[in-house]
């Protein structure tokens, strides 16, 4: 992706699905920045809801929230994380108690924290690029 006038190429970070993100955002890096920011905010909100469902023992509700969070990772190019969330959804479908899904839930929380950190770094890169080159 590049600025038409200056031909400054922007490549997303290697841990993100660069090909997918280029297809999704084309050369509209301002749109990418906005979607990344919005996705991160939604992930934070949904993570709080997921924790509440987990601690309430509402595994069916937890599964619904996890399902809702999954596409947000696609918008920020984290397809591997989407796979982790799919696996956790399947875990929730197999078990009925918080104790049975606790280890997997702790893993999903850690995955989410790491994903948010990576996305925040990418937002900084996008902001820098967008203000510097556009």
pLDDT at position 5 is: 56
Low-confidence ranges of the chain (pLDDT < 70): 1-7, 133-134
HEC string of 34-93 equals HHHHHHHHHHHHHHHHHHHHHHHCCHHHHHHHHHHHHHHHHHCCCHHHHHHHHHHHHHHH
Looking at beta carbons, which pairs linking 10-15 to residues 24 or more positions away fall under 8 Å? 10/125, 10/126, 10/129, 10/133, 12/77, 12/122, 13/118, 13/121, 13/122, 13/125, 15/78, 15/118
Total-model pTM = 0.87
The reported pLDDT for the residue numbered 3 is 47
Q: What is the pLDDT of residue 6?
A: 56
Integer Cα distance of 120 and 116 in angstroms: 6
Q: 3-state class of 112 per DSSP? A: helix
């Amino acid at each position: 992706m590049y600025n038409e006038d200056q031909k400054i190429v922007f490549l997303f970070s290697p841990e993100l699905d660069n090909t997918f993100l280029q297809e999704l955002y084309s050369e509209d890096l301002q749109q990418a920045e906005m979607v990344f920011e919005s996705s991160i905010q939604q992930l934070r909100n949904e993570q709080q809801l997921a924790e509440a469902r987990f601690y309430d023992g509402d595994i069916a509700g937890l599964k619904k929230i996890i399902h809702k969070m999954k596409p947000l990772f696609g918008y920020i190019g984290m397809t591997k994380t989407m796979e982790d969330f799919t696996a956790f959804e399947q875990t929730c479908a197999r078990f009925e108690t918080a104790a049975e899904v606790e280890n997997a839930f702790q893993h999903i929380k850690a995955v989410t924290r790491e994903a948010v950190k990576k996305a925040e770094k990418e937002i900084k890169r996008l902001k820098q690029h967008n203000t510097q080159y556009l």
